[in-house]
Each structure stands twice: as structure tokens, then as C-alpha cells.
A and B are shown apart, each in its own frame.
Chain A
Amino acid sequence: SQQGEEDPQALSIQEGENATMNCSYKTSINNLQWYRQNSGRGLVHLILIRSNEREKHSGRLRVTLDTSKKSSSLLITASRAADTASYFCATDPGGYNKLIFGAGTRLAVHP
């Protein structure tokens, strides 16, 4: 990957369970963003966390950022079948919106 790795590559869970995805990156960043992609379509922005923030919440999403370890995690609580998608982290090293994407985690939530 050009910037980092996402872990796991694929995750399969039951509805109601929590899903955790991790992202590591290589360079210093201005911010880190998470996106969702359904069935190879366009991406949808989920959440943005800045380099001076450690944790951020949005609905059932919780994102953490550890700049000392160059890593971030995305937690989806009480997952639903509709959460089935690929999830990508993207870093913005310079703060100019030129994003570098990871390879993504494919999440499957079974009813």
C-alpha cells in the first residue's frame, strides 16, 4: 500500500455485534478520514479526525487516533446488515485534501 495497511482485510460478523477495523500509516498527517464503499460504487465520507484529536464519535461510529503509533481504529457498534461494505481509511499528510487511501476492510454483517 502507498501509505499504510488496514487490518483485517475482511471481517464477517453477526448483526448486533461490534466491528473494529484498524488502519496504520507511514507519514505524519494533518487529518485522517474514514469512508464507506458499497458494492464497488462511490465512496461516502463517514468521519474525519484531526491530528490533535484522539477520539471522535458519530452515531454508532467511534474513531480513535494514535499519532505516536501512526494508527487509527474505527468501531461500529450494534452492526446491521446495511453496514455491509468496504471501509477505507485515508490520510491527508499536508492538509490540502490530497488523500492517500488504504486497501480497505471488507465487512460482511449477517442477519
Chain B
Amino acid sequence: EADIYQTPRYLVIGTGKKITLECSQTMGHDKMYWYQQDPGMELHLIHYSYGVNSTEKGDLSSESTVSRIRTEHFPLTLESARPSHTSQYLCASSDTGPPALEQYFGPGTRLTVT
């Protein structure tokens, strides 16, 4: 079992609310990632970080923002939630490569915006 945690697991919230999805890992990994996944679909990388104070946007454009102030913590924030943000958000981490290494995933946060 990977030591990477996400809270909350489920969140139902109204349009316009600010939300923060938490992700933390205890493996000391430098690299962390946020993916967005709609039901039955592929994962899309929306943010990644190579280390503290390093964040970049992924291949899929997202209105969310992230921060990396501590190695173990990589929260994702939506300033004003909309129904189009309804999705599952998965956080992952990996050790520093090369060579390329596997990613460890958290259990995900299922977000519903009404």
C-alpha cells in the first residue's frame, strides 16, 4: 500500500465555492502530480511538481492551481467551483529519475459541483 493520502474522498459542493483538495505523501518523493479522470476515461495530467517551490501545468488545461511549500504536501485549489469541474482528481508521487520510476497514486477525490 502506497503512503500517499488524499482528503476528502468525496466532496459535493455548490457552484462558486472555493475548494482545496489535499494530497500528502510520506515517502519523501520529490515529484508529485495531479491528474483529472472522468468516469471510464483516461487520466489527464493537470499539474506536476519536481520539488519544493516548483510547479508546472500539465497537458490538460485546468482552472485549478497548486502549491508546493513542503516536500510532502501538494494541495490543489479551485477558487470558484463550477459544474464543469465535476470529476475525479488523483494525486501521485514518484522518486526522482532518471531512470524513470513508477508513480504511486492516492485513492482519489471524487468532486461533484452542483
Contact = CB atoms under 8 A, between A and B. Distances in A.
Nearest to B88: A40
Interface in A83-105: 88, 90, 92, 95-104
Nearest to B107: A42
B42 A31 contact: no
A69 interface: no
B12 interface: no
Contacts of A82: none
Contact of A101 (B42, B88, B102, B107): B42
Contacts of B44: 2, 101
A81 interface: no
Which among B102, B105, B106, B108 has the highest number of chain A CB atoms within 10 Å? B102
Given A31-B100, A96-B97, A43 B105 contact: yes
Contacts of A50: 99-100
B75 interface: no
B97 A2 contact: no
Contact of B100 (A30, A42, A100, A106): A30
A11 B68 CA distance: 40
